[in-house]
Amino acid sequence: MLVATNPYTGQEAHRFPPLEDQQIATAIETSVAAFRHWKLSDFKTRSELLKKVAERMREDKERLAMLMTLEMGKPITEAYGEVEKAAWCAEHYAEHGETYLTPISLPSDATHSYVQHLPLGPVLGILPWNAPFWLALRFSAPAIMAGNTCLMKHDEHVPACAQAIADIFAEVGEKIGVPQGLMQNLPIHREQVEAVIRHDAVQAVSLTGSSRAGSQVASLAASLIKPAVLELGGSDPSLVFADADLDAAIEALTISRIINAGQSCIAAKRLIVEESVYDEFVEKLHARLAALKMGDPTDPQTQVGPIARKDLRDGLHRQVKMTIAQGGKCLLGGEIPDHPGFFYPVTLLVDVTPEMQASCEETFGPIAVVMKAHSEEHALEMANDTPYGLAASIWTADVKKAQQMASRIEAGQVTINGLVKTDPRLPSGGIKRSGYGRELGPHGIMEFVNVQQVWVGPKVND
């Protein structure tokens, strides 16, 4: 069974039976049948579908947000924001997908030669629990706008969220008369995924998850010569230099550390602060973190909700305790609360060095890890001293300097004097153990298309 546990109470919320093998096969066959028609649809029809999906999500925002809050503990105000952002993603590709996929003429010895972008077929999306609606639309909106169909294997712990997403596509599709099966939910266990990837009809895979899961999926997809996009974990650095606006940096970095209780791949994980402002930064950050309210995620006043699962909280606590044992100092939090639910307090670890656990591993929770850099060059060295390369930020009054430094940071995304975030208009993805390929923006929609060259004769003389 796929069991959802309410992380606020620690009690089971509901359970869903997983699909059996024949049901999975039927879903894939339905996806193939839908693709035969959908690949011939025009951009106007595809755009209409995505716009109606966005509209329906906004109409049902209250219920959809509450599903997230119930199943994975996202504070309700953040859940509202996620529904809005997912709808925005659908709208973005509805409005810009055709332009992104416009054929490109290229000079050659042909009378006319060009490249066009054609859909591949059914695409499998393997998604995590931490942003159930946003990640689903980030995967499906560009794929569907490009003419593909989608099979969604969502995390086992958010089964109602997953079904709600598929139901919206089915409901909208029926109303406007497009093929059923464009976006299907596959409520299956992890061990059932391999058979889906191996199925001949499945043409590509997109995975958002851990580096370990990415390695397994990438190996399998490569063995079958199927393209894959991987958005994996990160240990994202934020470089705070002596000339930075510390108040602005602390406000943005606080949000980054506590949004979704710190359970975000692109959250700032290592705050690397130049020595001359280190003490001032720590003092101000401590005051800001200490003022945050942790509690019932259904309460609009709550700023920090619970960790999604007990095992995740236990792993987080292990990282904190090991870091303290290795010489890091805990100025705030660091102890599991003695009350129901999977809460972990906002925690501030300072004087952390690169070999300590909270620096070596990704911390997926409301843990601020502060590290001291002796110079800007030292800060850069520390930022790149990681197997990950997802995102980073630089805080300084010298924007030109920051832009020059951005090219030296080993990450797929760099933000200067702002909050690191994903945006439907801009490509997002990582390097090194943070994955490969890009989602969002014009680059994201190109991941699952056939870039087909067309040469039209007769040959012309140069």
The stretch 170-199 carries a mean pLDDT of 97
Closest residue by Cα to residue 197 from 187, 189, 205, 207? 205
Say what the pLDDT of residue 42 is: 98
| Residue-level pLDDT at 339 | 87
Q: Quick one: pLDDT band at residue 164, thresholds 50, 70, 90? A: very high
B/e letters for 249-272, b = 16+ CB within 10 Å, e = fewer, are bbebbbebbbbbbbbbbbbbbbbb
- Cβ neighbors of 111 (< 8 A, separation 6 or more) are 456, 457, 458, 459, 460
- The full set of domain ranges for the chain reads 2-232+431-455, 237-416
Cβ atoms of 304 and 247 within 8 Å: the answer is no
Which stretch of DSSP H or E encloses residue 170? helix 159-176
Q: How many residues does the chain have?
A: 462
What mean pLDDT, rounded, does the chain reach? Answer: 97
pLDDT at 438 (0 to 100):
97
| Reported confidence tier of residue 461, pLDDT bands at 50, 70, 90 | confident
Answer whether 236's CB lies under 8 Å from 267's CB. yes
- pTM (two decimals): 0.96
Burial of 23 (0-12, 13-18, 19+ CB in 10 A): middle
**Has residue 172 got a pLDDT over 80?**
yes
Taking only the tens place, the pLDDT of each residue in 298-347 is 999 999 999 999 999 999 999 999 999 999 999 999 999 998 999 999 99
**What positions carry a catalytic annotation?**
231, 265
Sheet containing 104-105: order of strands = 104-105, 112-119, 449-456
Q: Which are the contacts of 385, defined by CB distance < 8 A and separation ≥ 6? A: 354
In this prediction, residue 462 carries a pLDDT of: 67
* Residues 259-269 pLDDT 10s: 999 999 999 99
413-416: strand order across its sheet: 329-332, 347-350, 367-373, 270-274, 237-240, 391-395, 413-416
Three-state secondary-structure class, residue 272: strand
Percent of the chain topping pLDDT 90 = 98
Spatial distance between the Cα atoms of 453 and 255, rounded to a whole number of angstroms: 46
Average pLDDT of 248-274? Answer: 95
Q: For 48-63, what is the mean pLDDT?
A: 98
Per residue in 371-413, pLDDT (tens digit) is 999 999 999 999 999 999 999 999 999 999 999 999 999 999 9
Name the residue with tokens 């925690």: 347
For 351-360, write each residue's pLDDT tens digit: 999 999 999 9
The terminus-to-terminus CA distance of the chain in angstroms comes to 66
Q: Are 99 and 65 in contact (CB under 8 A)?
A: no
User: Does 237-416 match 2-232+431-455 at the fold level?
Assistant: no
| Topology classification of domain 237-416 | Aldehyde Dehydrogenase; Chain A, domain 2 (3.40.309)
pLDDT, tens digit, 9 for 90 and up, residues 80-133 = 999 999 999 999 999 999 999 999 999 999 999 999 999 999 999 999 999 999
- Helices vs. strands in the chain: H and E counts, helices first: 15, 18
pLDDT, residue 323, reads 97
428 pLDDT higher than 90: yes
Kindly state the DSSP code that residue 120 receives in the 8-state scheme: -
Q: According to CATH, what is the number of the domain 2-232+431-455?
A: 3.40.605.10
